[in-house]
Amino acid sequence: MQCIVNRRAQFSASHRYWLPELSEAENQEKFGACAKFPGHGHNYVLYVSLVGELDEYGMVLNLSDVKHVIKKEVTSQLDYSYLNDVWSEFQQTLPTTENIARVIWHKLKPHLPVVRIQLFEHPQLWADYTGNDMEGFLTVGTHFSAAHRLAHPRLSDAENANIYGKCARPHGHGHNYHLEVTVKGEIDQRTGMLVDLGALQQVIDDYVVEPFDHTFLNKDIPFFAEVVPTAENIALYISNLLRSPIQQLGASLYKVKLIESPNNSCEIYCENLADGNGNRSTSQPVLTTV
């Protein structure tokens, strides 16, 4: 039986987004604060996913051996380093989060059965790489606070209470929603970016955070006047809001994850949805409850 195991590692390093063929003004326009000299640093967290058959001892791999390989090939070289200089790959393509993940994959693949590299630059920004040439995934996390009431407008209060329980109470209730937006795209051979991160964050702020934050969704967001604002419907609506503007940035929206509470979250995988006009396709959201 095949099984995927995950090994966590970490390293601290600095980097700078700077292309010598561009002027100082052009670098600052392209990379913003990330172009400042001499660079900036992060405490990176790395997850290496490995696949294999379960052996007679109940293991896929000896995790002690895995630990030593990751240390030898990756973390001992990157820890407390200036990434732009440490590996030759970063001379050609800048050490963005998504490109670091890609290069780590290729460093480990000759030694381990890697199926995914996930690299966190910080808790609200991480990249995934699965070995598909220059294709990568970048996830941005953010949050908004909003109230809602779960009640279908064509049902009585008693009928809504029967379906939605306490969530149907007339004056509603609130959540501190955590939103994760994952985009997919080609990592640029020179800049190392699959999307302009500042532009992506601005799109999420403009289309979701600012309109949704500190609202009563049923009353303040016209879409939810007739659609019950469950976590599933909110995530689906957000995916429809974001798909077109993210496409205009040169990437594609891959997934929207909405965490309503520590116990409930909803994931929408966006590639198979029918359109961007709020119409639900045959692709259903995946609701996970802990």
Active-site positions read: 167, 214, 260
With beta carbons less than 8 A apart as the criterion, state whether 102 and 129 touch: yes
What H or E segment, with its residue span, contains residue 8?
A: strand 2-15
Which residue's entry shows tokens 């198979």? 272
Hey, which residues does 7 pair with through a beta bridge?
48
Three-state SS for 264?
A: strand
Report the distance separating Cα 185 and Cα 222, nearest Å. 32
Strands (E), 39-80: 40-53
Answer yes or no: are the C-beta atoms of 228 and 152 closer than 8 Å: yes
Q: Which residues contact 42 (CB under 8 A, 6 or more apart)?
A: 12, 13, 14, 15, 121, 122
